[in-house]
A and B are shown apart, each in its own frame.
Chain A
Amino acid sequence: MTDAPVIGVLALQGDVREHLIALAAADAVARPVRRPEELAEIDGLVIPGGESTTISKLAVLFGVLEPLRERVRGGLPVYGTCAGLILLADKILDPRSGQETIGGIDMIVRRNAFGRQNESFEAAVDIKGVDGDPVEGVFIRAPWVESVGARTEVLAEHEGHIVAVRQGNALATSFHPELTGDHRVHSLFVDMVRANRAPESL
């Protein structure tokens, strides 16, 4: 398809490769982005799993944090997994000193809420907007969403904790669909990117 949307994956650190593969499988043109100028050329952005403190520090250090905030405020579709969910939160309950977020979703998140690596787990998750069987949720030192604002829609919960949300063009999950080979969540995001692009491309 010639009109495939171009979706960047923030490539400062984390499981960038897996997201690139999942996006390509969902019919997007996927590319890693690290520099402010590269942000201008994309229709959507994925913020991968990784270490949220590290990604946030590198984003400040390399001058992409402000440009990212601007684009997200301007309505750029974004999808964050795990660390990416933390970076899209307007507020972190227990931030490391100086830990900044991009924001975009009116929610408060708790880092490593499900525990350390020994508590990392797999569980089936039903996601609103994803048809068929539940997705295999891979939770790795995963955060959960402590509370959401009025404009934020809860898409999934696990044992009473919010693990997937959407607000407008921003989507976030505590777990890692990119590690499973099931690309339905990425397809949902690619559809969001297409829908966002549709009016101007007509």
Chain B
Amino acid sequence: MSSTQNQAPETGTARVKRGMAEQLKGGVIMDVVNAEQAKIAEDAGAVAVMALERVPADIRKDGGVARMSDPNMIEEIIEAVSIPVMAKSRIGHFVEAQVLQSLGVDYIDESEVLTPADEVNHSDKFAFTTPFVCGATNLGEALRRIAEGAAMIRSKGEAGTGNVVEAVRHLRQIKNEIARLRGYDNNELYAAAKDLRAPYELVKEVAELGKLPVVLFSAGGVATPADAALMRQLGAEGVFVGSGIFKSGDPAKRAAAIVKATTFYDDPKIIADASRNLGEAMVGINCDTLPETERYANRGW
């Protein structure tokens, strides 16, 4: 179309939002709470950092309402590193998202780790130039977020536990539901869309592609190199690591080790080498002892 030749460059398109996430694939995105940690993460080979005030393990410990981080802290982190910087808004708190966009973050995570601001609605993500990543525990939830404009999905897991079991559950759930759709004929896709509570067009697209139309990462509970490699082998295109790094004994070493294992996720010898002498992992929480009200994965609808 030669008519495009004279058009002004266009920002905030679906292609640049989703395409940005494509560039992160195969990588590790690390939670950091200050510029110093951000540099450690960058030096270890992180593809991006998530700027937040407290890692999920501390949010759990401290209790209270968890909100968007201080703009000063986010700006310091943007200044400190050259890799992309993400930051979290509360679910449905579109003003926090507007603030994050004005700060120039590269991605907004509308996150269940923070205390939800709206118990019915998520933010309209099409209203932003900055792309959004959202959590999901199953395919229907992922597609509802994409329908609202999310340009990247992460399986939720259970943040701040250091326990990978929920991450595995949610990723398997999403993958299994995609595989099931692949086997449906066209007649069945309408009812499937109804069951998934997701738009028919998206359901049909997933059935044809055999994958989500956006990048799928895994999050919530990855604490070791083997955990990261496990999520990759299960089909995650990359991993978020939150408390697992900076709540461990030797963050720089563990961060680099998780990056290695994420790249060579199908090579047990490299994962073994990466796993040697890492010092203490974060202590971790058994998810079956977590009361329902403290399960972050239940937040979001």
* Chain A contacts to B: CB under 8 angstroms: 11-18, 34, 49-51, 53-54, 57-58, 61-62, 82-83, 96, 111-112, 116-124, 126, 133-134, 136, 138-141, 158-159, 176, 179-180
Contacts and interface: CB of A to CB of B under 8 A. Distances in A.
Contact of A118 (B5, B19, B130): B130
B37 to A, nearest CB: 16
A11 B15 contact: no
Contacts of A158: 9
Contacts of B130: 117-118
Interface of B: 1-2, 4-5, 7-13, 15-16, 19-20, 22-27, 42, 45-48, 82-84, 101, 104-107, 129-131, 259-260, 263-264
A83 B23 contact: yes
A138 B19 contact: yes
Contacts of A11: 26
A117 to B, nearest CB: 4
17 contacts: A12-B26, A12-B263, A15-B23, A15-B25, A17-B25, A53-B42, A54-B47, A54-B259, A118-B12, A118-B130, A122-B15, A123-B8, A138-B15, A138-B19, A140-B16, A141-B20, A179-B15
Nearest to B22: A15
A141 B106 contact: yes
A134 B2 CA distance: 7
A126 B25 CA distance: 29
Nearest to A132: B2
Contacts of B15: 122, 138, 179-180
Contacts of A120: 11, 16, 19-20
A51 B24 contact: yes
A14 B22 CA distance: 7
Given A51-B83, A53-B82, A140-B16, A121 B9 contact: yes
Contact of A58 (B1, B105, B107, B259): B259
A57 B13 CA distance: 30
A117 B83 contact: no
B45 A118 contact: no
Given A96-B82, A117-B107, A118-B130, A179 B25 contact: no
B104 A118 contact: yes
A117 B152 CA distance: 14
B77 to A, nearest CB: 13
B19 A117 contact: no
A53 B10 contact: no
Contacts of A14: 22-23, 25-26
Contacts of B264: 34, 62
A176 to B, nearest CB: 6
Contacts of B47: 13, 50-51, 54
Contacts of A119: 11
Contacts of B131: 117
A139 B13 CA distance: 11
Nearest to B129: A118
B17 to A, nearest CB: 8
A141 to B, nearest CB: 7
A82 B23 contact: yes
Contacts of B10: 121-123
A141 B84 contact: yes
A12 B48 CA distance: 15
Nearest to A96: B82
A117 B20 contact: yes
A58 B263 contact: yes
A20 B152 CA distance: 21
A179 to B, nearest CB: 5
Contact of B83 (A18, A54, A82, A136): A54
